[in-house]
A and B are shown apart, each in its own frame.
Chain A
Amino acid sequence: MKISLTVNGKQYAHEVEPRMSLTHYLREVLNLTGTHIGCDTSSCGACTVLLDGVAVKSCTILAVQADGCEVTTIEGLAQGSDLHPIQEAFREHHGLQCGFCTPGMVMTAVDILQNNPNPSEEEIRHGLEGNFCRCTGYHNIVKSIQHAAEKINA
């Protein structure tokens, strides 16, 4: 099937298998490997991207479902050398270790702060419910998002 979509501001058109997931499309066709696969069964959140501005687990979306949509992946977040405030905060507050869950965490955080610029700790936790991290114990991730919110609102 033919699809055309915008990924990180760039237009693409491709012929894809109907059962190809959006994750595989991004990783294998567009070579955007920042979107990771931790489970492939919608449990871990490592594959989270923004689809028309909303965080989705790209392993549960078919590439064809993204036809006509706008997708933002982790690679599309920074503006050149300037990191997005959320990325900056993760760096500053050590919100990562092995980094494998990080892209999914950051993309989910973008969605959280879009909908709620001033989330409480509880609300951040709720927002990240579908994202697993095996390394950090989460505290620094929550802290990073709190700091990012402060910075964005400042």
Chain B
Amino acid sequence: MKNIDSDKHLRGESLYLDDLPTLQGSLHAMVFASPTAHGLLQKLELEEARKSCGVWGILTARDIPGENQIGNIIPDEPLFAEKEIHYRGQPIALILAESREAARQARQKIKVEIEEFPAVTTAEEAFEKGMFITEPRTFTMGDVDRAFAKCAHVFEGKTFTNGQEHLYLETQAAYAIPAEGDQIKIISSTQGPSQVQKAAAQVLGLPMHKIEVEVIRLGGGFGGKEDQATPWAVMAALGAQLSRRPVKLVLSRSDDLLMTGKRHPYSARFKIGLDENLKILAYEARFLQNAGAAADLSPAVAERTLFHATNSYFVKNARLSVYSCRTHLPPNTAFRGFGGPQGMFVMEAAIALAAQKLKIEARHIQQANLLQEGDRFPYGQRAEQALARKSWETAYLHYKADDLCRKAEDFNKKHEYIKKGVAFMPICFGISFTNTPMNQARALVHVYRDGSVGISTGAVEMGQGVNTKMLQVAASCFSIQPERIKIETTNTTRVANTSPSAASATSDLNGKALLKACEQIKKRLLKTAAKELKTNPQKISLQNECVLIDKKDSGLRWEELVQTALLQRVSLSETAHYATPKIRFDKKREKGRPFSYHVYGTAIITAKVDGLRGTYQIESVQIAHDFGKSMNTAIDLGQVEGGLVQGLGWMCMEELAYDKNGRLLSNALSTYKIPDLFSVPERIEVVPLEDEGHEAAILKSKAVGEPPLMYGIGAYFAILNAMRAFQSDLEPFFNAPMTPEKVLTGLLKKQVKNKPLHVEKRQIG
């Protein structure tokens, strides 16, 4: 089934937040943010700006009737800075004006004096200085020290992975409209409407029922609108509360880049120990997470780093710890993968280093350690329906990996200045919010008397196709035409206390709740039909809009059935609740069964590197992916391709740069490069694993949002392997993204030492 929004998208009729007709009397808001990363606010001069043409007013912390606090996990984030400044781009004031232009002009007239202090921008420095968001966390399994003592080979190293800008094409936006009395309706471009509602209630000093939050759709989210859509929505609401006029706040791209957090940069140290047979006996890693200036979702992201620190491998003895470090960057936040990719990168780096030192290919170590059924993860859960090996073997056979590697070797023998590298990237990603209470959802279904159906859930459509999947769930349950079904906006008055659309779990959670609601209505309808047709309900079924008795058409149609039910005063509405069963986690022991299931897969990545220029091309990415029983192959394949390319961007080209004063240097699309049409792989192939699917997945179709991003990690190692083909004793380095500059300097390092050669093979060639 096609994405149900396709037609509207293609006609330009879909409404994103900024497309909503502006109500009469609307004000436009613009944020005035700190130009300094760290300091004390000494003076804020607003008078001149207030007098500026078309300005309604300028709001600061002082105007807040409730609490100046929007922190989600930890209350450490004011909506507006009062005295202390913690990052460049931190909101200080909100300008409300008759037009965006008037607001912009007023903003230029605001003067601020800040006593500036040195800024801390790296996790290492914050770690040295003891600046932390929370207590560190450590997962341990086995006896690590003893195991290391027994290892035949032990290697140590360090890594860095940079942050990543979400670059959702639609910037952050909100529109708040005052309603009767002191109520406010907020239309927000958020992945987490209930979080917006809660924060707005807190800041506005109102109970949550007075705040209605509605989401139509998002022009991309990727985690960047999970928690960080909140400030803008709350500001718009505050503006509407105080002015009693509708307030629209749409961040310009440059404000969005400046003021919002990104994927967390991580610095890590690792130690890996192997036995003679390449079995990983022990692994130790210490992660320093650059959380930025406030907690945001960082503690949860840090946790997931530990959950995925051993990727798809069974590591009997592991000690993994993470420190969430407070720096003077914008609070870093959720981004597809949510800390998992950062953890996996380090494991892959450790394997690559071991392979290099042992003069073998990394794939031999990878293959020898893949998870098997029943193996334990360091957090205590056992691998069930483990598909690590199956995905590896499927990729290996399907894409004829031996040939592939041989061909690359042949190519490398024949080419002096261009070399190919092949890397394997197995993935294993846990599905569920690791904060167990968040794994719940509700749905509301109305069947109208004309037979049409309206569905509300807590799911937010942001391009991932969740609305299409929800529609499929309902259509298959009722066995009616999709045209009869409408997916309503996500609205907190219809479905309350929702978890954000995140953790790849949106379709599972909301779909399961929806299915329950539909089944309840269906049960009542079948009973009605049985009564009408004078038979018993067990004999009745629905198919293609018809009521069947013993699988034969009874002549009764869907519309008539609905009519009959209504006349017989049978409820045609239902709400249902779903809570993921069998999951738990004990944070004291750091053990439990946090995930409902795991998603597996293996990618083979081939890269071609130009040793003279440092440039490279990802030639192909060939994937065997565990979709379960995909309920929508077009959407799921789209998620794999899109996720993969985002992962490649993070690993290869997207270079987030701050100077030492915390100033964002990559502050425009011209200086921050995301994958364009030329940087994507020439070929992406995906083969689904033959698989039963998982009971906990909606219609056994496994979650697909985040896992594919991690295939991108393989690109780093494919490039590194190509560099190894230039120089067999290359000192591997693990500093992502692997930009062409780094390729070149990496290759040059040795040449400088040994003087004049470009590349080692030149001597031979």
List the interface of chain A (C-beta within 8 A of B): 27, 31-41, 43-44, 46, 73-75, 77-78, 83, 87, 90-92, 94, 96-103, 106, 125, 128-129, 131-140, 142
Interface residues in B633-682 (C-beta closer than 8 Å to A): 634-635, 637-638, 641-646, 668-670, 674-678, 680
Known A33-B12, A44-B669, A87-B11: A142·B638 in contact at CB below 8 Å: no
Q: B10 near A87 (CB under 8 angstroms)?
A: yes
Give the docked Cα–Cα distance between A129 and B463 (Å): 22
Taking the complex as formed, is B424 at the interface, i.e. its CB lies under 8 A from any CB of chain A?
Answer: no
Since A31-B21, A99-B14, A100-B463 are in contact, a sample of 11 more A-B pairs with Cβ atoms closer than 8 Å, ordered by chain A residue number, is A34-B11, A40-B252, A41-B253, A94-B634, A98-B218, A100-B170, A132-B669, A136-B641, A136-B645, A137-B644, A137-B675
Chain A binding site: helix, strand, loop or mixed by DSSP? loop
Stretch at the interface among B1-9, B67-75, B346-354: B1-9
Taking CB atoms, residues of chain A closer than 8 Å to B483 are none
Chain A hits for B276, CB < 8 A = none
Query: Which of B10, B645, B677 is the one whose CB lies under 8 Å from A83?
Result: B10
Could you tell me the distance in whole angstroms from the C-beta of A28 to the nearest C-beta in chain B? 8
Q: Are A134 and B168 in contact (CB under 8 A)?
A: yes
A98-B680 in contact (CB<8A): no
- A75 and B670 alpha carbons, distance in the complex (Å): 29
A36 with B253: CB separation less than 8 A: no
Q: Indicate if the CB atoms of B16 and A91 lie closer than 8 Å.
A: no
Q: How far is the CA of A140 from the CA of B634 in the complex (A)?
A: 10
DSSP majority for the B interface? loop
Tell me the minimal C-beta distance from B333 to chain A in angstroms. 16
A73:B12 contact, CB within 8 angstroms: yes
Known: A33-B19, A36-B16, A97-B3. A140 touches B9 (CB 8 A): no
Contacts of A46 in B (CB 8 A): 169
Tell me if B442 counts as interface (CB < 8 A to partner A): no
Chain A residue with Cβ nearest B9: A99
A137 touches B12 (CB 8 A): no
Per the bound structure, the CA–CA distance linking A141 and B222 in Å amounts to 20
Give the interface of B toward A (CB within 8 A): 2-3, 5-16, 18-19, 21, 166-171, 217-220, 222, 252-254, 462-465, 634-635, 637-638, 641-646, 668-670, 674-678, 680, 684
Specify which of A35, A92, A128, A137 is in contact with B642 (CB 8 Å cutoff).
A137
| B18, A103: Cβ atoms closer than 8 Å | no
Q: Give complex CA distance A90, B12 in Å.
A: 13
**Residues of chain B contacted by A100 (CB below 8 angstroms):** 16, 168-170, 219-220, 463
Chain A residues with Cβ under 8 A from B10's Cβ? 74, 78, 83, 87, 90-91, 96, 99, 102, 106
The answer to whether B12 touches A35, judged by C-beta atoms less than 8 angstroms apart, is yes
Is A129 a contact partner of B677 (Cβ separation < 8 A)?
yes
Provided the pairs A34-B13, A44-B669, A98-B220 are in contact, do residues A137 and B463 lie with their beta carbons within 8 angstroms? no
Shortest distance from the beta carbon of A51 to any chain B beta carbon, whole Å: 16
Which of chain A's residues have a CB closer than 8 A to the CB of B5?
A: 99
Chain B residue at minimal CB-CB distance from A142? B677
Partner of B465, one of A43, A97, A132, A140: A97
CB atoms of B680 and A138 under 8 A apart: yes
Is A78 touching B642 in the complex (CB atoms < 8 A)? no
Distance to closest chain B CB from A37 (angstroms): 7
A92 closest partner in B (C-beta): B2
Residue in contact with B677 in the complex, picked from A87, A128, A135, CB distance below 8 Å: A128
Residues A34 and B642 in contact, CB atoms below 8 Å apart: no
B254, B637, B678 pick with most chain A CB within 10 angstroms: B678
Q: CB-CB < 8 A to A99: which residues of B?
A: 5-6, 8-10, 14, 217, 219, 463
Q: Which residues from chain B contact A75 at a C-beta distance below 8 Å?
A: 11-13
B12 and A74 contacting across the interface, CB-CB below 8 Å: yes
Measured between alpha carbons, how far is A103 from B10 in the docked complex, in Å?
6
- Check B13–A91 contact: CB distance below 8 A: no
The distance in angstroms between the C-alpha atoms of A106 and B758, with both chains bound, is 45
Minimum C-beta distance from A102 to chain B (A): 5
A98 touches B217 (CB 8 A): yes
Q: Which residue of B is nearest A94, CB measured?
A: B634
When the two chains form their complex, are residues A43 and B668 in contact, meaning their CB atoms are under 8 A apart?
Answer: yes
The closest CB in chain A to the CB of B167 belongs to A134
Is the CB–CB distance between B169 and A91 below 8 Å?
Answer: no
Residue of A nearest to B641 (CB): A137
The interface residues of chain A lying within 8 Å CB-to-CB of B642 are 97, 134-137
Q: Hey, which chain B residues are within 8 Å of A135, CB to CB?
A: 169, 220, 463, 638, 642
6 interchain residue pairs of minimum CB distance? A34-B12, A98-B463, A99-B9, A100-B219, A74-B12, A137-B645
Contact among B2, B11, B170 with A78 in the assembled complex (CB-CB below 8 Å): B11
In the bound complex, residues from chain B placing their C-beta under 8 Å from that of A137 are 641-646, 675, 680, 684
Specify which chain B residues have a CB less than 8 angstroms from the CB of A125 in the assembled complex.
677-678
> Which residues of the other chain, B, contact A33 by a CB distance below 8 angstroms?
12, 15-16, 18-19
Are B170 and A38 in contact (CB-based, < 8 A)? yes
Cβ–Cβ contact B670 & A43, under 8 A: yes
Q: Are B220 and A134 within 8 A (Cβ)?
A: yes
- Taking a contact as CB atoms under 8 Å apart, the answer to whether B169 and A132 are in contact is yes
Taking the nearest CB of chain B, how far is it from the CB of A108, in angstroms?
11
Distance (Å) between the CB of A133 and the closest chain B CB? 7
29 A/B residue pairs, CB under 8 Å, sorted by A: A27-B19, A33-B12, A34-B13, A36-B16, A40-B253, A41-B253, A74-B10, A74-B11, A83-B11, A91-B6, A91-B7, A94-B637, A98-B463, A99-B8, A99-B219, A103-B12, A129-B676, A132-B669, A134-B168, A134-B220, A135-B169, A135-B638, A135-B642, A136-B638, A137-B642, A137-B644, A137-B675, A138-B676, A140-B641
* A residues less than 8 Å from B668 (CB atoms): 39, 41, 43
Given known A-B contacts A33-B19, A91-B10, A97-B638, A134 and B680 have beta carbons under 8 A apart: no
Q: In whole angstroms, what is the CA distance A34 to B736 when docked?
A: 37
Cα distance, A136 to B220, chains bound together (Å): 11
| Cβ contacts under 8 Å, B680 to chain A | 137-139
Q: How far is the CB of B668 from chain A (nearest CB, A)?
A: 6
State in angstroms the CA–CA spacing of A35 and B646 once bound together.
25
B472 to chain A, nearest CB (A): 15
Q: Once the chains are docked, how many angstroms separate the CA of A149 from the CA of B4? A: 24
Residues of chain A contacted by B464 (CB below 8 angstroms): 97
A36 cross-chain contacts in B, Cβ below 8 A: 16, 169-170, 219
Instruction: Find out whether the CB atom of B222 lies under 8 angstroms from the CB atom of A94.
Output: no
The distance in angstroms between the C-alpha atoms of A136 and B635, with both chains bound, is 10
B646 touching A134, Cβ below 8 Å: yes
> In whole Å, how far is A64's beta carbon from the nearest beta carbon of chain B?
16
Chain A contacts of B669 at CB under 8 A?
39, 41, 43-44, 132
